[in-house]
Amino acid sequence: MAREKSYEERLAEVRRRFGRVGVTIPKVARDIGVHPEIIRRLLKGQTKGTRGASHKAAVLLGLKDGVVVEAGSAYEAYLKGGEQ
C-alpha cells in the first residue's frame, strides 16, 4: 500500500508543476477565482488552506484532500443549518 504524501511533499510537487508548466500565479488565481495572494501564501507555506478561498485553492491545486462547495449551492445552505 502506497504511503500518503505529506503536506510538504505535496507542496514541493505543486511548486515543481508551476515551474514545468510556466504558468503565472495571477493566471492560476483568475482561473480558479481567488486572489493571487492566496496562491502565493499557499506556495510559500504561510497558510494551509483551512477555510474559504484558501481552502478552495488548496484543494484545486492538490495540496489537500477536500471538497469545494460553491456559493449558493444546496450543500452550502445545509452547512449553514438550512434545509436541503
78: confidence class by pLDDT, cuts 50, 70, 90: low
**Structural domains in the chain (count):** 1
The whole domain housing 34 covers 1-84
Rounded alpha-carbon distances, angstroms, from residue 51 to 18, 24, 73: 23, 23, 17
pTM over the 0.75 mark: yes
pLDDT of 29 > 50? The answer is yes
CB atoms within 10 A of CB 61: 20
CATH number of 38's domain: 1.10.260
SS3 (DSSP) at 58: helix
Give the residue among 80, 27, 24, 61 at the shortest CA–CA distance from 69. Answer: 80
84 confidence band (pLDDT: 50, 70, 90): very low
